[in-house]
Amino acid sequence: MATEGRLRIKTLVMVCAMVVCANAGDLMLKRGMLQIGAVQLSESGLAHAFRMTVSSGTLWVGIIFLCGFMLSYMTVLSWADYSYVMPAGAFGYALLTFFAVIFLHEAVSPRRWVGVVLICVGVLLVGQTKPRTTVVAREALA
Amino acid sequence: MTHVALFLSFLIFGSTGGEIAITRGMKATGEPGRLRPKEMLQFLGRALCNGWFWAGVPLMALSFYALLLLLSWEPISFVIPASALSYVVGTFGAKYLLGEQISAARWAGVVLVCAGVALVALG
């Protein structure tokens, strides 16, 4: 059915946007905080860390990505099942492992590879079920 | 050990409860007509006026606080695999609180993802 195919495609596109934004946001936050260095838990240390964080371009890019994640998450949940989106979003764990191997040349243990395979098979199984099994409000389409 | 179990349940039930409340809010909001800036801003405005959305936010904050506390007591290799149980709890919530139909394939996928996340987190 054409409508169901369209629903599946827009759900998958939005879940991909969610996964990419969440991972890119986390990586940017990590990189930004590494640039700032360990935060000293004193009054002057916290004040310095605050000034550094609000003026860090990397952290702002990370925050924009995380806002993108929240917006795509809210949007996809307005039409798709929570039980479809939640496991599909776990694909990010597998993606991070691939990135770690390809770009950072990290060694990955066999146990972690088994986990990645289980996630990929699980996401494929969930992905072939119907993205929506409930009735959705459609005020915006009226 | 009791406090670890207590905060682990805050983490699992807080995060899934928060996400289920947000899902209910977003379903009540209705999907945006088009994925264009004007329609998306109107969609966001409607979502932020929904009570379910604001019921979900403190629950997610509670789960985040529980996560921070757990990470200060226990190694991450215990906390993240244990919190992967939220995929199973969330699926039960979706079935009984949101009325979603969970097919056998979806259940199998959720269980595999749950086990996979636990293995990846164990490293």
pLDDT tens column, B65-91: 898 888 888 887 788 888 889 999 999
The residue type of B71 is L
Closest CA of chain B from A55, distance in Å: 25
Question: What is the interface size between A and B, counted as CB pairs within 8 Å?
Answer: 162
> pLDDT-derived band of residue A80, with 50, 70 and 90 as boundaries?
very high
| Angstrom distance (rounded) from CA A142 to CA A133 | 21
For the four alpha carbons of A122, A29, B7 and B63, in that order, the dihedral sign comes to negative
Q: How many CA atoms lie within 13 A of A114 on its CB side?
A: 8
In chain A, what residues touch B30 (CB-CB under 8 Å)?
Answer: 78, 136-141
User: What chain B residue is nearest to A123 in terms of C-alpha separation?
Assistant: B109
* Summary mean pLDDT of chain A: 86
The residue type of A135 is V
> pLDDT-derived band of residue A1, with 50, 70 and 90 as boundaries?
low
pTM here?
A: 0.85
Q: Which residue has the tokens 């924009």?
A: A64
Say what angle helices B37-48 and B2-29 make with each other, to 10 degrees: 130
Range of the domain at A112: 2-141
Q: How many domains does chain A have?
A: 1
